[in-house]
Amino acid sequence: MSALRRYEILLPLRFNDGKPVPDALISQTLADLETRFGAVSWDTQSVRGLWHYAEKTFSDDLMRVIIDVKDLPGHREFFRGLKGRLKKRFHQLELNMTTHLIDVV
């Protein structure tokens, strides 16, 4: 059995200018992930944060998206590319995406 890897994406609920992200962008992103991997999960509780860029403070309102897949090089490459596409889709300067091995019992 292959090891499993969890990818977590903090997906913005607001653009950097503070305007709400249209539900359609979020729904399309979740549908794309479910179609590719057969499952996707997300938290309904928002994650909030602050960060600085070019002397400006940004306030984030985010949702955590979770995808568990086999630990394969092709999956890692997909998520590397996805990060760039999501930054463009959501008009973000940066997007937090992490990954770690998991052991499902």
4-102 has which CATH code? 3.30.70.120
Dihedral Cα 84, 85, 91, 92, nearest 10 deg = -30
Encode burial over 57-90: b for 16+ CB neighbours within 10 A, e otherwise: ebebebbbbebebeeeeebeebbeebbeebeebb
Q: What is the pLDDT of residues 24-48, one digit of tens each?
A: 999 999 999 999 999 999 998 889 9
Give this prediction's pTM.
Answer: 0.89
Which residues of the chain register pLDDT less than 70?
Answer: 1-2
What are the domain boundaries of the chain? 4-102
